Amino acid sequence: MGNNFAIELADSDLFPDLDLEKAIGYHLQGNHYPPVPLSMVPVCIEAIDAYYEEAYDKEIEMPAGVLYKGKDTAPAWAIIEQHHLSPWLPEE
C-alpha cells in the first residue's frame, strides 16, 4: 500500500468508476496509521481545489474535533503535505 496505492487510486484510467470522494477516503483510511477520519475527505478535496487555483495558503476549516496546531483551520499546502495528496495534483 502507501504511495503506489495512492497513485493507482488517482488514476482515472485504472479506476474509471471510482469518484474522488471514495478514492480519497480509501487513501486516508488505508494509507495512514492511524487511519484519518473520513470527515477529512471534504477538507482534502478543498485543499486539492485550492492547489489547482494556486491558493496554496488558503485557510481551510477543519471538521469538528480536528485541530491543526491548535487552530480550527489549516493552510491548503499543509493538508496536502500531511495527507500525502500529491497523486491528485497536476504534474510539474
**Model pTM?**
0.92
Q: What is the pLDDT of residue 1?
A: 55
Q: Is 43 helix (H, G, I), strand (E, B) or coil?
A: helix
Q: What is the pLDDT of residue 90?
A: 87
**pLDDT over 80 at 2, yes or no:** no
How far apart CA 1 and CA 52 sit, in angstroms, is 26
Asked whether 14 and 8 are in contact (CB, 8 A), the reply is: yes
- Tell me the per-residue pLDDT of 34-50, one tens digit each, with 9 for 90 and over: 999 999 999 999 999 99
The enclosing H or E element of 75 equals strand 73-75
Q: What is the mean pLDDT of the chain?
A: 94
How confident is the model over 53-81, as pLDDT tens digits? 999 999 999 999 999 999 999 999 999 99
Q: Write phi, then psi, for 88 (nearest 5 degrees).
A: -95, 5
CB atoms within 10 A of CB 9: 22
